[in-house]
Amino acid sequence: MTLDLATPAIAAWCFLPVALPISLWVAWSDLKFMKIPNLAVAALMLVFVLIGPFVFSGSEYLWRLAQMGIVLVIGFLASTARLFGAGDAKFAAAMAPFIAVADLQMFLPLFAATLLGGLVAHRGLKHIKRFRASTSDWVSWQRRDYPMGLSLAGALCLYLGLAAVLPG
């Protein structure tokens, strides 16, 4: 039974409480281990698969599932070209159905901002001795590449949070 509650705010409120802890897990894991756990990716996908049919009409739900497949293929190709990691590609695919195609004009700059902000914060905090000492076991301090799961997770949470509170 589909309730078709597809107002952006209601959809966001349905997903945010579950997507937020998964996203925090992804961000922390990528900072600490430079890995995004497959279990976290599967959990986020499961959230959409289980809650999505109650939030969206059948056609909207299926289109959003297709978005997951499209982003997975693009991510696989980009990962193969070494543009970013496979975990980043899988998590981006798991995020895709949560983001309305109509909102891409808003989401992409939001992601760019979290990418820039995350990179500056990560590189800056690396040089603060007290912070670095309390996170000395983070692999991301030793690597040149950036833990993009931090920005992906941040963008998803900000998007859902904004969708939950903004009109329209």
Structural domain containing residue 153: 8-165
Asked whether residue 3 is assigned to any structural domain, the reply reads no
The H or E element spanning position 111 is helix 104-125
Asked whether residue 2 is assigned to any structural domain, the reply reads no
Asked whether residue 158 is assigned to any structural domain, the reply reads yes
Asked whether residue 153 is assigned to any structural domain, the reply reads yes
CB 13 within 8 A of CB 55: no
- Total number of domains constituting the chain: 1
Asked whether residue 73 is assigned to any structural domain, the reply reads yes
106 vs 159: CA distance, rounded Å: 9
Asked whether residue 1 is assigned to any structural domain, the reply reads no
What pTM was estimated for this model as a whole? 0.93
Show the tokens assigned to 157.
């949470």
Sign of the CA dihedral with 48 first, then 61, 162, and 148 last: positive
pLDDT digits (tens, 9 = 90+) for 109-146: 999 999 999 999 999 999 999 999 999 999 999 999 99
Asked whether residue 48 is assigned to any structural domain, the reply reads yes
pLDDT digits (tens, 9 = 90+) for 82-91: 999 999 999 9
- Whether the per-residue pLDDT at 1 is higher than 50: the answer is no
